[in-house]
Amino acid sequence: MDSVSIENLWARTEQRAPQVFRAIDRGNPFAEAAHASILRDLISIHFVRSFRYKKIHQESFHRVYQNLRDNMLGRRKELVRAEALRQTGLHLPDVALPAFLDPILEESLPAKGFASGQLFRQNIEEMFNKVRDLIATWQPELLTAKTGQFIIGDNPAIPVRFDPNNPNAPAYNMAIGDAHSVVLPLGPRHLVALGPQQLTAEVEKPVVERLNQLQVLAAYRHVFFKPDQGTERFVRMACQLRSS
């Protein structure tokens, strides 16, 4: 059921997007009040259903799991030893406690849920609602590329924070609560960013390239764009920056 639930969440969010895209094509992206909410939901779902968030989830689970294991084999080892005696009739030395404890931890509901992916799918739904609440008062800014194109990576919704002393190199991938904005390309010509008020603006090539560089730097494995010699050259240069 959890798999069906997350797919329904994804579908509900994506199915509402075409009405906004049609309004964008007509030049009136905020013709209806619901459009701002739809764009925020698109940002939320792409943020949580991403390689980056999956990695955060995995690292968080492993950290909690390891802390629990260390605690059970450290301060609480006498409880483990007593349970081993109850179950096996054996007085286990310290060196044998991990062999008794690990199968118990691996059979726990959280560990099974993590292994099957159920825990991640449930976490996506919970985090989607949290992110949506966090950005509820932020307004979408629709940016249109005056020249060139926006590219999109496989971690497309990127929290960013701007340094007034270095405006051309924003920090990225911090917690949303610490971000000044979240950016998400909608296609080659349009990108939505979150800010204090709704606006539409055409942006010049340097701004497009700074936003595209973020997509390359934040990508897990792939970025996508319409075949174009200039864009391909830019992506290759950005990849070199990423690997340096």
pLDDT digit string (tens) for 147-205?
999 999 999 999 999 887 777 778 999 989 899 999 999 999 999 999 999 999 999 99
The answer for residues whose C-beta is within 8 angstroms of residue 53's C-beta and 6 or more apart is 47, 124, 127
The answer for residues whose C-beta is within 8 angstroms of residue 202's C-beta and 6 or more apart is 143, 144, 145, 146
Domain extent, residue 144, equals 2-54+123-243
In-domain check, residue 93: no
Give me the chain's average pLDDT, please: 90
d(CA 194, CA 189): 17
Q: What is the mean pLDDT of residues 19-45?
A: 93
Query: What b/e readout covers 140-166, taking b as 16+ CB neighbours within 10 angstroms?
Result: bbbbbbeebbbbbbebbbbbbeeeeee
In-domain check, residue 17: yes
Nearest to 204 by CA among 142, 145, 143: 145
Output the pLDDT for position 120.
84
> Per-residue confidence at 2, pLDDT binned at 50, 70, 90?
low
Question: Which region among 41-50, 119-128, 160-169 has the lowest average model confidence (pLDDT)?
Answer: 160-169
Output the pLDDT for position 122.
82
Output the pLDDT for position 227.
87
Question: Which region among 10-19, 131-140, 206-215 has the lowest average model confidence (pLDDT)?
Answer: 10-19
In-domain check, residue 94: no
pLDDT(3) > 70: no
pLDDT(1) > 70: no
In-domain check, residue 63: no
Alpha-carbon 77 to chain mean position: 37
In-domain check, residue 60: no
What's the total number of domains in the chain?
A: 1
pLDDT(5) > 90: no
